Structure 1
């Protein structure tokens, strides 16, 4: 048995929960905030048997897509030079980060 913590973009959360539920995966959804862009994301807690782990990874990979986004880099007031213009930078976002943890015991009451 495994516990999977999947951190995904909010934009993919509803679709992924729908796909996982339709395929008989039990999912608990937690709201979370990312540190990089300080935007909301979603963390899913999913209990899965070892035999179904590959199916879970496939569903996550097919549903959560990577994107690019334009971000204006933040420059603190102490570092700004007169006339300096911050140009937006394109950064990759999205996809999924999955942590797969071994579970010693699972009890459903």
Structure 2
């Protein structure tokens, strides 16, 4: 068994959740916040057999879209609040971690 942590942008939560359900994969959703841009994310916790890990990753890739967004440069690099200007950054997609599970029970 594996535990897949899939962190996706909040804008993609509905699509990823729907894709997982369509593939017959159950998940637990947790609201989370990114540390870099302080934007909303959803963390999916998915426990699955080893042979389903690639399917879970494919679904997350399919429904997590990368996009560009402008943010003030002070958000990124200027802690003293010096004159900021917009900087384009890539957001979205999915960050996925896969770990071994020693024991899993659904009661």
Q: What is the TM-score with the length of structure 2 in the denominator? A: 0.90
Aligned residue in 2 for 1:66: 66
Cα distance 1:48–1:70, how it changes in 2: closer, same or farther (>3 A)? same
Q: Select the residue among 89, 104, 107 that pairs with 1:106.
A: 104
Cα distance 1:103–1:76, how it changes in 2: closer, same or farther (>3 A)? closer
Q: What is the TM-score with the length of structure 1 in the denominator? A: 0.89
Structure 1, unmatched stretches of 5+, are none
Structure of higher CA gyration radius: 1
- Secondary structure, aligned partner of 1:104: coil
Q: Select the residue among 61, 84, 89 that pairs with 2:87.
A: 89
Aligned residue in 1 for 2:39: 39
- Secondary structure, aligned partner of 1:70: strand
Query: CA-atom RMSD, angstroms?
Result: 1.3
Distance (whole Å) between structure 1 residues aligned to residue 96 and residue 35 of structure 2:
16
The runs of 4+ residues in structure 1 deviating greater than 4 Å are none
Distance apart, 1:66 and its partner CA: 0.9
Aligned residue in 1 for 2:49: 49
